[in-house]
Structure 1
């Protein structure tokens, strides 16, 4: 891409399959060239098309991290369909909510998840592709959707589809995030949104076909769009880091060295894991050109440690933006800033974007040190939410801007992140609505009231839930609450600490007093044993 002329991201793959045919599109156990990978994409897309999938239809993908995941993403895009990526580790209950809300025509999944559905799926689904079923697989008679093993496609004589052209307003994806009502909220991502980000990235970082990207983020997470589409735009390789490798320090170290990773993008917590590991840093990290981080605040002392063992020519970048804007601000970390004691800046807007900081009266502020909410306007902003009206932002999105809910201030003409104005947090890069956790726990019959808070320490952030019981003598405790949560919400949303109180504190208006709960939580932190408090369960760490 030499100019800023709009280009849908599927065209990146099509062009690389032509100009970089023999380059590796993926390395590791997924190793395949661009030419062969695009051929597989066309075959799967042909199957979608044969069974009636048209432009704009949804293709849901419910898989663990694997090579078939990007295959399904690109196959959907090849025919102009919208991909709906789902966290492979989320519980069945939440997966069903996403399927019900997105109403996909196709579901790409594996046998284990297919069996877990137990034939309970939206009537919109007409085709199910099983990536790990053998050729002899047959579904029970009377099943309404067509179920086909991926292995069978090359033998079915399916015609290759005509590549579909998308414009910048067409939807590329729907990314479901945590919703405060207990129902995941789908953020619509257009082809124009993706192009704006990828065009900026390949030019800012000077990416080339010689690079190898580490794809650490899950495909349901907006960080993954950089790994997939920026790599394809320049004919570079991608190493897909499996779920069981994501926090396995030895696997990460071996992969970085073996595949000569030059571009890394992840949440800070993963980089902190590498900080604490014992290995020959010069030998392992010598290929690294860029380390990018996003999704949460990077504690400055850990960022200093990271910078100390990266090659001198490797640049550190803090990338900022909610799912509704992907990346909208960036900051190249300066060595002088690392010597301070505050988190680094979130920086300045990408070209073509306009930002505004407003106070509680809705007035713009630009004076250094004054705190306000960040608003973003421009081609990065989502066209809206999928079949959901948001009282804060739905009308904003129609006008091309997004109120982030993040509190910021100016310093040296750059923006500093200061926290949230609502109850949404970022935890290990995942967006978490504390209200969704409350909805999940409150659905337990034995629970009378529940309140969930987030605690921030010097080096981490975690979730704490307080609850009271309808009948205090019953046998519900923190373990049973966590086990119940595991059936309702993703693992990363399960509170680290769950504490029982006879009654939750109330303010003068009779509402749950979250400030009082935060004070109580601080007292728990100060107790070395964190146990033996009257009326509170013994504190147990999440499994």
Structure 2
């Protein structure tokens, strides 16, 4: 039984179980099946003999998930487009993908788009008028057909459409349900917007295992009082987020086992999980297992994992990102294209069935990043790392390397050492340019509680501590202190916003 069939079975086994919950709105497994079948029947009849991808626009509304399943049941990949994405980027995604239809649970503010738009009341009317209907089962996306397409930032400034097939997602879901101790009927946190592939880590494991997704939207995150009220009500058992989001929650003293007594699993991806953040989480949630994972969108969310316990924290000041899942392989390749020795740094290359087919409509970009190794698809990540006895260590983006006063350095390495400091809760390092060259490094710090009266005393203490770990040329020249690090809608540190603020 494939994962789509497994989702369908819950409409019979537990029809009244909530599949998705957001701000008091719920969709049960029966409603999820009936409504996605109805919408899929309309799509199949309206777009007969057409398999172009369909854009689905919105935020955390339950009918986003209904629309996703409707698209794939009718034989179309879906493109999730979050409401936070700027209009210009939405237009470029529409043009790049060749989409002819956009669905949305609410209004679509893009009259300039040259495609059919079905939104709000019209979408609900279509579903209601087609209840009881379903497309032919053989129409559904399968095998090497695209299941979803997520657009990521491209170095050219144009978004790149990463094609994830049915088989890619099946490989990922099988791994998630097999290796992380997940149980039937659990409540999963849904924090990441659907246009960020971290959301796939909770969406499909939850649906396939008959669980309930508890959605946290961007307005809640902006209002901590609302956020923690929702978390306290949720009964969450499986937490999926970026490390940055968890670090923000840790700033609230009530964020603990007392608030979330059922929480048993933390799943982290998308950023570096610091030793300090993991340690605090273990202190606050002693009954929970913490998993650090790694993977780019192009390899279907994540492909390595390790459980971070007290032994791992004691052994590794900089946490590893884990061992490869069984059906995949991680290689480290040196600049000259030869394999790196054990413990030797190079580019991380991922091989296996969860690797994407490439970028939609971009053969040149696909050829540059994807290849075939031993008959399997492989992806050159652009990430630096090394393997030690099969355990992967991530060393930042190769394109996060900069040259400052003749020295080549990795900004994420400096950030790692800053986060390990006694007086630092969170840190981002920004390279500041003068003309065309980098002139100095600025450290943006969220400090821990301290007794220093003046900022320069705090700076002096941090400098002293990191100078024992970093050469002098890697020490930030300037330090700036803030109560929090701004985050992107995806829950990552917003480096662009910080840079624009400090250089304005």
TM-score by length of 2: 0.79
Shift of 1:55: 6.0
Name the structure 1 match of 2:99.
104
Contact kept? 2:348, 2:381, Cα under 8 Å: yes
Shift of 1:262: 0.4
Name the structure 2 match of 1:477.
none
Contact kept? 1:66, 1:242, Cα under 8 Å: no
Q: Which has the higher contact order (CA 8 A, sep 6+)?
A: 1
Name the structure 1 match of 2:428.
461
Shift of 1:72: 1.0
Shift of 1:392: 2.4
Shift of 1:257: 2.9
Unpaired runs of 5+ residues, structure 1, are 2-6, 134-147, 426-452, 467-500, 506-512, 531-537
Match of residue 32, structure 1, among 17, 27, 39: 27
Structure 1 residues 23 and 339: alpha-carbon distance in aligned structure 2, compared to 1, 3 A threshold: same
Contact kept? 1:10, 1:78, Cα under 8 Å: no
Shift of 1:418: 0.9
Alpha-carbon separation, structure 2, partners of 1:374 and 1:529: 34
Match of residue 285, structure 1, among 243, 252, 260: 260
Q: Deviations over 1:197-216 (max 9, x none)?
A: 10111121232333001111
Name the structure 2 match of 1:407.
384
Contact kept? 2:257, 2:263, Cα under 8 Å: no
Shift of 1:96: 0.4
Name the structure 1 match of 2:72.
77
Alpha-carbon separation, structure 1, partners of 2:193 and 2:159: 17
Name the structure 2 match of 1:422.
399
Unpaired runs of 5+ residues, structure 2, are 403-409, 419-425, 444-473, 483-498
Shift of 1:525: 5.0
Matches within 5 A, 1:86-485: 86-109=81-104, 112-114=107-109, 117-118=110-111, 120-122=112-114, 125=115, 127-131=116-120, 133=121, 148-151=122-125, 153-155=127-129, 159-163=133-137, 164-279=139-254, 281-312=256-287, 314-325=288-299, 326-339=301-314, 342-368=317-343, 370-388=344-362, 389-390=364-365, 392-396=368-372, 400-411=377-388, 413-422=390-399, 457=415, 458=418, 459-461=426-428, 466=433
Alpha-carbon separation, structure 1, partners of 2:385 and 2:202: 28
Shift of 1:157: 7.5
Match of residue 478, structure 2, among 526, 530, 533: 526
Shift of 1:152: 5.1
Alpha-carbon separation, structure 2, partners of 1:247 and 1:290: 24
Alpha-carbon separation, structure 1, partners of 2:323 and 2:236: 27
Alpha-carbon separation, structure 2, partners of 1:156 and 1:376: 43
Structure 1 residues 528 and 11: alpha-carbon distance in aligned structure 2, compared to 1, 3 A threshold: closer
Structure 1 residues 296 and 157: alpha-carbon distance in aligned structure 2, compared to 1, 3 A threshold: closer
Shift of 1:396: 4.7
Q: Secondary structure at the match of 1:180?
A: coil
Name the structure 2 match of 1:51.
46
- Once superposed, what is the RMSD of the aligned Cα atoms? 3.0
Q: Structure 1 stretch 156-165 or stretch 176-185: which is displaced more?
A: 156-165
Q: Deviations over 1:448-496 (max 9, x none)?
A: xxxxx97863333366675xxxxxxxxxxxxxxxxxxxxxxxxxxxxxx
TM-score by length of 1: 0.73
Shift of 1:57: 2.1
Alpha-carbon separation, structure 1, partners of 2:103 and 2:503: 31
Contact kept? 1:56, 1:171, Cα under 8 Å: no
Q: Deviations over 1:170-207 (max 9, x none)?
A: 11011100011111001000000100010111121232
Contact kept? 2:401, 2:411, Cα under 8 Å: no
Structure 1 residues 302 and 96: alpha-carbon distance in aligned structure 2, compared to 1, 3 A threshold: same
Match of residue 13, structure 2, among 19, 23, 33: 19
Q: Secondary structure at the match of 2:305?
A: strand
Contact kept? 2:432, 2:441, Cα under 8 Å: no
Structure 1 residues 310 and 100: alpha-carbon distance in aligned structure 2, compared to 1, 3 A threshold: same
Shift of 1:87: 2.4
Q: Secondary structure at the match of 1:273?
A: helix
Q: Secondary structure at the match of 2:117?
A: strand
